[in-house]
Structure 1
Amino acid sequence: MGVRIPSSRALRRLEEELEEDHVPLPDEPELRAWVIEELHAVRRPPVHERRRAFYGSFVMPPGRSLLVGGDLSDVVELGDYDIALGRRFADGRSTFLVRHPDGTTALACFRRAVQYEADLVEIQEATGAVIAQRTVMGTARLFVEAGVIEWNGHRWSQRATAAARVPAVARHAVGVSLEVVEGLLDLCVHWLSPGQVGGTVVLVLTSAQRMLDYVDADDSIPAPPLSVRHREHFPAFLAAMSQTDLATVLDDEGNARAMGVGLRSTASADLLVSDRRGMRHRSGRRFSFDHPQAIVFVISEDGPVTVFSDGAEIATSGLVTQPLIARSIAPTEEQRCARCRRLIEVIVGVSATTTSACPVCGALEGFEETTVVGVVKEATWRAVDLDPQRPSRPPAAPAHLALGDLTATHPS
């Protein structure tokens, strides 16, 4: 069977598609052209005996190396070997075609399969490579610094990585280590979500045992000593949550405390807080409103991960549909919502693209001339539990987290 070379017209059409769907591509013309070629290869692979090949490749940026981590076994340099033929040896699981900045190619051979989203996100972050892959399910996807991009048969869709959402969640995870926040987001965004495992995870910022007094634990099961701080525990979380309904509760150290827990809500939460995305989102959002000492992570079966604090959405891994407000633009005012009484960060006198409303209850009153940044984590429970003289406001985020991405989200 001959090797089919894509026409320049086909590549131009693909480039136009990517631009229309706002897919981030390298600025450097040559690297950009290579990424487009690799995306064409993963979306339209050759057919041999009625089978479409699996495939994967790395387009390396200047000054970066694949020689990181312990899973890479060998890099076989291909010299002037034909690229189209070289693709036959790259299965997108244990072997990947490498395109170096100098125009040469190689085969990266790994000791184990690195076909899963979590593996490739980790490699992308470590190497800076643009990774194209056709999965065993026939999905064409691209891994870039900004996130994971997939072809759904109609358009290119984009999801943020777990790392991109750490600053927004860390600002609300008062008293919890960054390691726990990173691990939990990694589990939800890159394991449960691509595994199509829907569920709810409650991260308790205070006594987990006290929190269990406010949930329905009649059908719950005790959890073994698993922790989101240990990546090797993630397959166990994935397996158990795919077989267990309701919520999983973690303590402030990231340790699993119970699974199959029902979340209750008060009459006030039922009145003030809603979410049209379904029962799982609605119960998680209301529980976070009733219990500011908890952050709730909701994983949809169809992919997106949403994080709630104080009844408001503080982060999502789904498509970004409105511009992000950088934390470098400091809010000029904090005001309390007249309806739900939550403290809200706002920028006064900045015209928003949509009508501003309380991100918790949707109230419009008082937000007419503002752009809403997000809900404030007041952490009043710490003043009660730890020190009567302790300020109720959480400490500022570390300097390297100062550019979080709280969005002006509204209850939908």
Structure 2
Amino acid sequence: MTIYKAGKVSDRRDRLRDELREANAALLELEHVRTGGDRSNAAISAHLAIRDRLEEVLLEEVLYARYTPVHERRRSTYGAIVFESGPPEDMADTLHLVPLGPGAALEDLRSLANGMTSFVVRTLDTTLGIGLVPAPAREQTLVDLAINLNCDVVQRHPSGAVRVFGRERLLIHEFDTWRRAPYGHTRWLSLGESVAADSRTAGAVVDLAMHVLSAQQVGATLVLMLRGTTSDLGPRLSSAPRALPVDLNVTNVEHAQLLATALAAVDGACLIETDGAVSGIEAMFMPTDKAKKAINLPKRGARHHSAARLSFDVPEALAFVVSADGAVSVFSDGRSILNLDPFRSEADSMAKLAGRENADKISEGIARLSCPACGKRLVVTVTTIDGWKDRETLDCPVCETNAIYAKNCWEISARVLKPWEA
């Protein structure tokens, strides 16, 4: 057990490293600094040296954010933006840089960086100045900043949480615990495969749900059309949606806060066209008897049941539910295909493959069948590993009817066949 002496920066840094390691929350992603395809020993050594230096700078910034100065019994907010080499030239619309004055030091700048509108801007070797953002930085703003400017953002939020925005994920330290959360849009890669669709709009809806509505604890239901228009929902509506007084589109990040404000004050669903246009809010749905019989979610409330049953009745639609506690669920064909919980660390869904013998001898087979209970057509993927002979069974992913398919294999999974698939 390591003994740390209070107040020692080096000891705090070692303790922070231990915290991150125990939480499986690395400051740098695996491909954080790239070698440009050069795999020579010199290039790899240079790559590792840059990674080490970047990690040291981020550790320093996270430590400062954790222990900012106390004034009137409260720690001040803070923010820093770290570039590997330097900021891009074309960032005027995103970040305005006020250069470091003569003789000024990093500590002088930190007193001006509030983490909401102003941030210390630095590289691995140089402090550049103060960066100003056009409006108070919400979670989605900082996600976009990290991705679009290819940088890392460290923020001490007014709530006391310390957040590290990387290129692909967000690290959060809150209530003495680190957790790792994926960015919403990065989950669309697996989500798109699950619903046999390629809608860039869906990535924007996931971001809206995760980084705007969830971050502000706004409970809501969002219905996105993958095919057709929201007018096709007419037979399933028990009350017509109300049009907004302005045209909003979920793919426009500037509209996100307007939509969040509108949804925070109403019940019902927000209807979204395939191109991201918001056609209305406060929509209420009336499920079919078949949907009521097939969909039963014992641990979920009315909002989740309504969304799941709508997606069962209308396979051309995805239903996103944001709970008031921040969790996000996505339903397609009556089943939950994605769950994002901001208070749980991201898990590696393929972790159980680790250490399997003969893992290099994996093969997959595809079958199609219909559930005898709910009638949904399914695409079944059977994964086989040489020598693995256990009998696996598949329950219907929609109505949960037991053992509709069985085979000697390693794993069986299924998704619902969409109407537009051959």
Identify the range of structure 1 (196-205 vs 35-44) with the bigger mean alpha-carbon deviation.
35-44
1:206 maps to 2:228: yes
Measured against aligned partners, the alpha-carbon deviations of 1:318-374 in whole angstroms (never above 9, x if no partner) come to 343351599xx995213334444331342332579x986443233441256353455
Q: CA deviation at 1:40?
A: 1.9
Is the 2:155–2:162 contact (alpha carbons within 8 Å) kept by the matching residues of 1? yes
Q: Which residue of 1 aligns with 2:26?
A: 24
SS at structure 1 position matched to 2:120: strand
SS at structure 1 position matched to 2:111: helix
Q: CA deviation at 1:111?
A: 5.0
Q: CA deviation at 1:298?
A: 0.9
Unaligned 5+ runs, structure 1: 383-391, 394-412
Q: Which residue of 2 aligns with 1:386?
A: none
Larger radius of gyration: 2
Q: Which residue of 2 aligns with 1:405?
A: none
- State the identity %: 27
| Matching of residues 4-403 of structure 1 within 5 Å | 6-26=8-28, 28-62=51-85, 65=88, 67-68=90-91, 70-77=93-100, 82-101=105-124, 103-171=125-193, 177-178=199-200, 180-204=201-225, 205-217=227-239, 220-224=241-245, 225-275=247-297, 276-318=299-341, 319-324=345-350, 331-336=364-369, 337-340=371-374, 341-349=376-384, 357-365=395-403, 366-367=405-406, 369=409, 371-378=411-418, 380=419, 382=420, 392-393=421-422
Cα RMSD (Å) of the superposition?
A: 3.1
Question: Distance between the aligned counterparts of 2:162 and 2:401, measured in 1?
Answer: 42
Q: CA deviation at 1:153?
A: 0.5
Is the 1:165–1:317 contact (alpha carbons within 8 Å) kept by the matching residues of 2? no
Q: CA deviation at 1:175?
A: 7.4
Q: CA deviation at 1:295?
A: 0.7
Question: Distance between the aligned counterparts of 1:22 and 1:367, measured in 2?
Answer: 36
Q: 1:255 to 1:77 in 2, by over 3 A?
A: same
Identify the range of structure 1 (106-115 vs 139-148) with the bigger mean alpha-carbon deviation.
106-115
Q: Which residue of 1 aligns with 2:45?
A: none
Q: CA deviation at 1:151?
A: 1.8
Q: Letter of the 1:279 partner, please give it.
A: A
Identify the range of structure 1 (254-263 vs 123-132) with the bigger mean alpha-carbon deviation.
254-263
SS at structure 2 position matched to 1:186: helix
Measured against aligned partners, the alpha-carbon deviations of 1:117-165 in whole angstroms (never above 9, x if no partner) come to 1111111001221211011232211111232222220312222212202
Is the 1:56–1:95 contact (alpha carbons within 8 Å) kept by the matching residues of 2? yes
Measured against aligned partners, the alpha-carbon deviations of 1:37-81 in whole angstroms (never above 9, x if no partner) come to 222222222202323111011222247647535132224247885
Q: Which residue of 2 aligns with 1:398?
A: none
SS at structure 2 position matched to 1:347: strand
